[in-house]
Structure 1
Amino acid sequence: MKIKTLITAAAAFGMMAGAAHADVKFGALFPFSGGLALLGEESFRGVELAVEEINAKGGVQGEKVVLVRGDAVDNNQAIGEARRLISREGVVGIIGTYSSSRSIAASQVAELSGIPYFELGAVADEVTGRGLEYLFRTNPTADTMGEMIVQMIVDEVAPGLGKEPGDLKIGIIHEDSAYGTSVAGHQKNYGEAAGLDIVTIQAYPTSTVDMSSLVLSLKDQGVDVVLQTAYQNDAILFLNQAVEADYHPAAIIGGGGGYSLTATAEAVGENMNNVLDVDFTQYAVNHEFTPGIEDFLTAYREKYGEEPRSGHSLNNYVGAMAVLQGIDKGSSFKPDDIVAAVKAIDIPEGETAAGYGVKFGENNQNERAKMMGLQWQDGKLVTVYPREAAVAEFNIGD
């Protein structure tokens, strides 16, 4: 009996010791291949850095976080990979996904399975507009983007051109997925409310290989300010074909995506100078406004041996840190306990490396998430708006 008791006690101790060093799996569902791979990989890097930092401090609820990758190369693959992560890998939550349409598809799978899904980068309205119980979004939205773009036109672009906002002819062009459609809709609504003259709204397929007719349409209508919501390839295509057609609008304002990528600037060259953008927090920003950004940059450079390619890595890092730290305060990894822990997150504005806070409100959307106004100047994407976050002045009308 004594031997049996000792064996039982040893086994119990071993189980406890094993539990103390157990792993907890989270799915990392991003487009790692295909046309959106660059920003997918960049987004993943932010999550990866957050997990490494969390694990170095003891993990989450005493367990080491392990990321299991899933490749959301398209919507169907996003659905299939979400199912695999849940049923075969046994993840307790999924982190993703950057692409709005793929996030919408995959998060529906997670919702039906009762598994929490944390969106850190997709902006389309429908992501949180469906009222899902297990979906949380940490990043700012298409509504935020559309509103800030119009604010910049009114506050900075029009005065810089010596015109009244209503005297400018505005053209809205966008890729036709949930991302581009959502942003364009808000640009239209906020623009009309501000008295802007929106002369055209045109959608196109993301996969388009020729935008010459669209460029000529904008030129013929005398569009002064072009608002484009695009991924990388279509942003490059429009900017290059505009130059080829000798079309030089007074201002071009991108809606994140390809307009925030160093690779886009490299492909377009000097014609990228003075192009404006509204997107997630980037790196040329007032660091007093973004505490912790210098430590993030150091960690990024040490791990990947290069500069960040987009602010998506920073914003995914901020989102992942907030979510994992919130779950760490929870009582278990059961879905409802994770949801309760995440709903309790309350990070004030100005206390993250992205400059915004985290608190989930209606439809589990982070109500403190904000975007920045940016401009390409001398090959660098610098923050110009709002003024308290800016490191450079607007360069308009030169």
Structure 2
Amino acid sequence: MKNFKNVFSLLMVICLIVLSACNSDEANSGDNGKGSDTYEIGALFPLTGDLALLGEESFRGVELAVEEINNAGGVEGKKIKLVKADAGDPDAAQSEANRLINQEDVKTIVGSFSSGISFAATEVAERNGALYWELGAVADNVTDREYKNVLRINPPASFFSVVNINFIKDVVAKELGKNVGDLRVAIVHEDSSYGTTIAEEAKKLAGKEKINIVTTQGYSSGTNDLSSVVLNLKDAKPDVLIAVGYLNDAVLLARQSEELGFDVPVLLGNGGGHTMTDFRDAVGDLANGIFNIDFPQYQINREFTPGMDEFIEAYKEKYGHEPRSGHSLANYMGMKVVADIIGEVGEIDPEKLRDAALKYKVDPRTTATGWGVDFDSTTGQNMLGEPYLHQWVDGELITVWPEDVAVEAPSFE
């Protein structure tokens, strides 16, 4: 009888261990959706530090998309749970991506606005077999590495450069009464992968069009003095200035240009600082007339961007003010694409999600950004996202080119 009790006790212990393991597996399955009522998705953005303004604005778009999806019943009945990660620089991006994947057991991540942060975080995702969806960073090298676990929904920097050169060639030369080959074009850019990629690609495309680049000035986005850069630009006497910077350096460039008497007929900003209402608030009337190439903004042809008005209302209701830039809209649209593809697969399995994404197609003019979706099978880059040209007019950023998305014609007064 004693032996029977010992055997019975041993069997009970074994059963408890097995049940505990099963329960543990089920508890940890929120990241892939099996046996759980949630899908856990990492959200990696710079939420503190120098990049926090647009990092937070980008995260807000993801947050709004998730709330909308969850309030409508979730993805095939399962709610999305965001696991946040604050990555203020590339080093933090690596450590936070590692934490999400190896400690939080997250199998797919969205992010990240900054190209340097994205470059670092996607490398970690690739090594660890997690799928990374880039919704806002633009440097081409994020997808040029042809990683199997990286998909980008927003347009890359090279697409911005195409708009720069095409606008100069097709519109600016005529408006300034010059032949394309006689135009003097300068480039000024912050020196991370974001600014460098746009600058280098613009120089390459300019060469093909016989457009004269008279000077290229790079600088650190953390600088507090651009006077030497501005004086070099002033000496070069450009007709057009292509500028790539974040908020603080964009503001500094505008103010010091005014102080040092540098005035250029056409300034083409490229996303970043020139797109934000904070830029307008900081420089006032100096913003008026500046062009900016970027993700879709809010004064745009609504026939091209169905769902944008609903997004703006949801944003104002949650955050108490208008969206600060189109980055929130781009991330909102991108997060909805991610959720749609997860719904098709029914679980978060990186390989299955990528396979489904490569078959997933959306026509242009059917989303809140106006973008379509068609991922390149080699790079993972969406080929149907495009930046548009906007202009600051009386304190508002108005879409002015190309004509089918514009609400006003570009002004050169």
Distance 1:271 1:166 in 2: 29
TM-superposition CA deviations, 1:323-370 (whole Å, max 9, x none): 110111014222212222222211011111111101101311001111
Equivalences for residues 277-292 of structure 1 within 5 A: 277-292=292-307
* Corresponding residue SS for 2:404: helix
Residue type of the alignment partner of 2:400: V
Q: Which residue of 2 aligns with 1:193?
A: 208
Q: How many residues align?
A: 385
Of residues 145-154 and 333-342 in structure 1, the stretch that sits farther from structure 2 once superposed is 333-342
Q: 1:116 aligns with which of 131, 143, 148?
A: 131
Q: Alignment partner of 1:329: what SS?
A: helix
Per-residue CA distance 1:149-184 (angstroms, 9 max, x = gap): 111112222222222222221111111111011000
Q: Given the two structures, how large is their TM-score scaled by the length of structure 2? A: 0.90
Residue in structure 2 matched with residue 28 of structure 1 by the alignment:
43
Q: Any idea what SS the aligned residue of 2:267 has?
A: strand
Match for 1:80: what amino acid? S
Partner of 1:87: 102
Contact persistence 1:330–1:340 (CA under 8 A): no
Q: How does 1:63-142 map to 2 (within 5 A)?
A: 63-142=78-157
Of 246, 268, 275, which residue of structure 1 is paired with 2:290?
275
Q: Which moved more, 1:327-336 or 1:228-237?
A: 327-336
Could you tell me how far apart the structure 1 residues matched to 2:356 and 2:314 are?
Answer: 27
Q: Does 1:247 align with 2:262?
A: yes
Q: Deviations over 1:359-386 (max 9, x none)?
A: 1013110011111011000001000011
Q: Tell me if structure 2 keeps the 8 A contact 1:120–1:139.
A: yes
Whether the 8 Å contact between 1:375 and 1:381 is mirrored in structure 2 is yes
Identity score, percent: 45
2:375 is the counterpart of 1:360: yes
Runs of 4+ in 1 over 4 A off after TM superposition: 18-21
Residue 314 of structure 2, aligned match among 292, 299, 305:
299
Residue 409 (structure 2) aligns with: 393
- CA offsets, 1:220-263, max 9 Å, x none? 12112111110111111111100001111111111111010010
TM-score, normalised on structure 1? 0.94
User: Is residue 101–residue 177 contact of structure 1 (8 Å, CA) maintained in 2?
Assistant: yes
Deviations 1:117-151 (A, max 9, x none): 00000110110011100100000011100000111
Counterpart for residue 170 of structure 2: 155
Alignment check: 8 A CA contact 1:327 1:342 kept: no
Amino acid at match of 2:212: D
Q: Which residue of 1 aligns with 2:395?
A: 379
Q: Which residue of 1 aligns with 2:189?
A: 174
Greater Rg over alpha carbons, structure: 2
- For 2:81 and 2:44, the matched residues in 1 are separated by 13
Deviation of 1:61 (Å): 4.1
CA shift, 1:20, in A, is 7.3
Deviates more, 1:58-67 or 1:361-370: 58-67
Question: In structure 2, what is the Cα distance between the partners aligned to 1:215 and 1:134?
Answer: 41
What stretches of structure 2 of length at least 5 have no aligned partner? 1-18
Provide, for residues 243-287 of structure 1, a one-character-per-residue CA deviation record: whole Å limited to 9, x for no partner: 001111111111111010010111111011000110101100000
* 2:395 counterpart letter in structure 1: G
Aligned partners of 1:21 and 1:62 also within 8 Å: no
Partner of 1:315: 330
Separation of aligned partners in 1, 2:142 and 2:76:
28
Does residue 261 (structure 1) correspond to residue 261 (structure 2)? The answer is no
Q: Distance in 1 between matches of 2:250 and 2:276?
A: 10
Which segments of 5 or more consecutive residues in structure 1 lack a partner in the other structure?
1-7
After the TM superposition, which of the residue ranges 333-342 and 302-311 deviates more from structure 2?
333-342
**CA distance in 2 between partners of 1:49 and 1:274 (Å):** 32
> How big is the shift at 1:393?
1.4
- Mapped to 1, the partners of 2:284 and 2:347 lie a distance apart of 51
